[in-house]
């Protein structure tokens, strides 16, 4: 899973591309498409009234 931003839920699942690709080209295309969707800035909006984070996923579970 490739996350566009740690502060958002948008992601690209590259697993199927890797499994089905006979060359690196489809993977490169999928990564480029994901980068094109990446936000221009970070958005770590926290709902302080409800004490909720912008995304339900903790950064420590994202990996890296």
Q: Where are the domains of the chain?
A: 2-62
Is residue 36 scored above 90 in pLDDT? yes
Residue 54's pLDDT band, with cuts at 50, 70 and 90, is low
Select from 61, 11, 9, 7 the least CA-distant residue to 35: 11
Mean pLDDT of the chain: 80
CA gap 40, 25 in Å, rounded: 25
Beta bridge partners of 40: none
pLDDT band at 6 (very low <50, low <70, confident <90, very high): confident
* Polymer length of the chain: 64
């Amino acid at each position: 899973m490739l996350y566009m931003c740690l502060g958002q839920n948008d992601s690209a699942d590259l697993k199927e591309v890797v499994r089905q690709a006979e060359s690196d080209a489809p993977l490169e295309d999928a990564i480029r498409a994901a980068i094109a969707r990446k936000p221009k800035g970070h958005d770590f909006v926290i709902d302080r009234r409800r004490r909720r984070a912008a995304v339900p996923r903790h950064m420590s579970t994202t990996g890296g």
